[in-house]
């Protein structure tokens, strides 16, 4: 990661209390970054901070619900009380609602549009002065659903938000590059996170799980689901890759090449 006057880099990670966000924060801390973790649940944040403290870097926490319209400004204000420089902003928070076109609701569309598109844009806007001071980078967590569809799973509204996030990533890379700020995204395949376990795997019967596992082996050239560590490794690379901007990095076990 970019060094400044022998001070440790500072990384802000949304959704940093579990799953992908926690793994990404862990990888950045292992590279020497101080952290600011943002999430809704105070107890999970404190547990994450304790876990990440083993790296010896400083871990700050900010309890915030990013579904609130004023959350990006409030987060930026709290971050500003800690530092005037941010080296890495990881826009990890997002949500998914899968429904057929006939069953898609305005509420679901609005929720996804806000969390998956508006929040990354607004938080990047609020953090821009600090990112400029740090000659930092933005890493948006997108999804393969922007351009890879799956038979039997209806994703029009969700896919639209991920496509928008990818386009926004490229546009911001073009806009902010001349000012020294890089903007990239990671498009993961299916990753075995606590959310994936709770919402997708846990309700399955043994037979359904067997079919699921066979589908994974067939769909992924590397033959397995991703892990949070797989995505975190990619984020650590993008945080330090000084001549990489505007990239949408597929970290998906080869899913999107089939």
The residue written with tokens 């990670």 in the block is: 13
Cα distance between residue 68 and residue 149, in whole Å: 30
Catalytic residue among 158, 196, 200, 237: 158
Is 158 tagged catalytic? yes
Rg of the Cα trace of the chain? Answer: 18
Cβ atoms of residues 151 and 219 within 8 Å: no
Cα distance between residue 176 and residue 188, in whole Å: 24
Residue 105 DSSP SS3: coil
Cα distance between residue 72 and residue 118, in whole Å: 10
Residue 182 DSSP SS3: strand
Q: Residues with catalytic annotation?
A: 158
């Amino acid at each position: 990661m970019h060094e400044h006057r022998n001070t440790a880099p500072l990384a802000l990670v949304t959704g940093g209390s579990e799953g992908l966000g926690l793994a990404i924060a862990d990888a950045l801390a292992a590279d020497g970054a101080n952290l600011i973790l943002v999430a809704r649940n105070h107890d999970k944040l404190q547990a994450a901070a304790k876990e990440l403290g083993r790296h010896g870097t400083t871990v700050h926490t900010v309890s915030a619900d990013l579904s609130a319209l004023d959350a990006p400004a409030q987060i930026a204000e709290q971050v500003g009380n800690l530092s005037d420089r941010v080296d890495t902003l990881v826009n990890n928070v997002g949500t998914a609602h899968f429904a057929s076109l006939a069953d898609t609701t305005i509420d679901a569309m609005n929720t996804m549009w806000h969390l998956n598109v508006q929040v990354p844009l607004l938080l990047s806007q609020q953090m821009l002065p600090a990112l400029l001071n740090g000659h930092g980078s933005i890493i948006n967590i997108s999804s393969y659903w922007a351009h890879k569809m799956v038979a039997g799973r209806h994703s029009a509204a969700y896919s639209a938000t991920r496509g928008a996030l990818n386009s926004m990533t490229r546009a911001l890379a073009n806009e902010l590059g001349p000012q020294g700020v890089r903007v990239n995204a990671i498009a993961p395949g299916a990753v075995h996170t606590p959310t994936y376990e709770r919402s997708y795997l846990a309700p399955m019967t043994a037979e359904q799980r067997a079919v699921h596992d066979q589908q994974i082996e067939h769909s992924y050239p590397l033959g397995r689901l991703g892990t949070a560590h797989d995505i975190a490794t990619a984020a650590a690379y993008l945080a330090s890759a000084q001549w990489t901007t505007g990239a949408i990095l597929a970290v998906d076990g080869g899913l999107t090449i089939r």
